[in-house]
Amino acid sequence: MTSRTTDPVRCKCGHEGAIRTSENDQPYSANWERYTVIGLNGGSHHVERRSATWEEVFYAIKPTCPKCGVLLTPENFI
C-alpha cells in the first residue's frame, strides 16, 4: 500500500502549490519514497531504502513557481 502526504508551499508572489510525498508503508517490504510537484513546475525524485532530506528533494525536483518563475526552497513551506 502507498501512503501519500501533501506539503503546501507558497511563493513570495503569493502562488501556492505543494510537494506530494508517496511512500511505501507495507510491512516487511523495501522502503521507497517518491516526491512530485502539484501546481508547480519541476520534476520528481525517487529514493529507495532510505528517507530523503527536504534539501535533497528540492535540489532534485527544482520546483519553480509557474506564475513568476522563482525557484522554491524548503523555506517556502507554509
In the chain, what are the domain boundaries?
Answer: 2-76
Q: What is the pTM of this model?
A: 0.89
- The pLDDT value recorded for residue 44 is 97
- The pLDDT value recorded for residue 70 is 98
Grid coordinates in use for 17? Answer: 502549490
Buried b (16+ CB within 10 A) or exposed e, 29-39: eeeebbbbbee
Q: Side chain identity at 78, as an amino acid letter? A: I
- The pLDDT value recorded for residue 30 is 84
**pLDDT under 50: residue ranges of the chain:** none
**CA distance to 10, 26, 53, 78, per residue, from 74 (Å):** 10, 28, 10, 9
| Residue 3 φ/ψ, nearest 5 degrees | -100, 135
